[in-house]
Amino acid sequence: METRKLGNTDLTVSRLGVGLAEIGDLSMGEVNVAAQVLNTALDNGITLLDTAACYGNSEELVGRAVADRRDEFVLSTKAGHVAGTYDGRAWTPRTVRDSIERSLRRLRTDHLDVVHLHSCSVAVLERGEVIQVLQDAKQAGKTRYIGYSGDNDAALWAVDSGLFDTLQTSFNLVDQQACLHLFPKAQRQGMGIIAKRPIANAAWGAETSPSSYAAEYHRRAQILAKEGLIPNAPDDPILLALGFTLAHAAVDTAITGTRDPQHMQANVRMVEQELPISAETVLELQRRFDELGQSWAQET
């Protein structure tokens, strides 16, 4: 698996990372399922595991399944929401501080590699209190780097602030605003860039929306597809979507999620054996978005 340096950090990440929201839907009695997925990822060269405090059982399952392989992967989590049985309010310094401590315990590690603020608003960022909590955690060695995970105006504020080491943001063939407005500035700041939703929630090529979560992406895909056949596009819509995202040099890694080890292996094979897709294909998708999608904000 090809790897990249994550911005100006000293973290090395695989081009394909694992998003662990889906793992979080498993029960604690299904730790063997989580272990199969995670060990398959690690055995096939994936080095980035991305979770969050609010992803159900995700952090605890990761800790139980692969804590003994901690030196083999970059561990990213997110903080800020009130999760589980925690008693508090979102986006207070106490909640973020307690979330980091909880993540360390659940993930069974003495340090995190990246802690992202998880989609908070510009108003929260401007107050600065939760950013200071992350900076304090970094100073204390509880996390090596700090980042922002989110989209649109809040992501732009985070990039412009110069306070964060990494940016995790939505980017795919029907959600290209990040490439236009965030990536150039983030690169100038030396930020590592993690693309979330790189396959557009599997909306491209689907007759109906795969889920309510994918409804807006499906609407956009239908509009872009009406322009006709895309030159040299692969038949597999997942390959097309993932290939588009990873064709952008600004993207250090793209995170996809699954609870199926075979699906994980298929994703790895796709990245290792079937990419890159045609530059002509990428340019046509960019042209269509430029003409038809300028008003489409990033999906949050």
CATH number, domain at 160?
3.20.20.100
Q: What is the pLDDT of residue 164?
A: 98
CB neighbours of residue 190 within 10 Å:
11
Handedness of CA 63, 66, 71, 73 (dihedral sign): negative
- The pLDDT tens digits of the residues spanning 161-204 come to 999 999 999 999 999 999 999 999 999 999 999 999 999 999 99
- The pLDDT tens digits of the residues spanning 213-262 come to 999 999 999 999 999 999 999 999 999 999 999 999 999 999 999 999 99
Is 72 a domain residue?
Answer: yes
- DSSP three-state, residue 245: helix
What does pTM read for this prediction?
0.97
Q: What is the mean pLDDT of the chain?
A: 97
Is 23 a domain residue?
Answer: yes
Is 3 a domain residue?
Answer: no
Number of domains in the chain: 1
With cut-offs at 50, 70 and 90, classify the pLDDT of residue 55. very high
For the segment 283-288, the average pLDDT, to the nearest whole number, is: 98
Q: What is the pLDDT of residue 256?
A: 97
Q: Which amino acid is at 54?
A: C
- The pLDDT tens digits of the residues spanning 131-156 come to 999 999 999 999 999 999 999 999 99
Buried b vs exposed e over 200-229: b needs ≥16 C-beta within 10 Å?
bbbbbbbeebeeeebebbbebbeebeeeee
Question: Where is 133: in which H helix or E strand?
Answer: helix 129-139
Q: Which domain holds residue 141?
A: 11-200+249-259
Q: What is the pLDDT of residue 284?
A: 98
Cα torsion for 197, 247, 294, 206, to the nearest 10°? -50
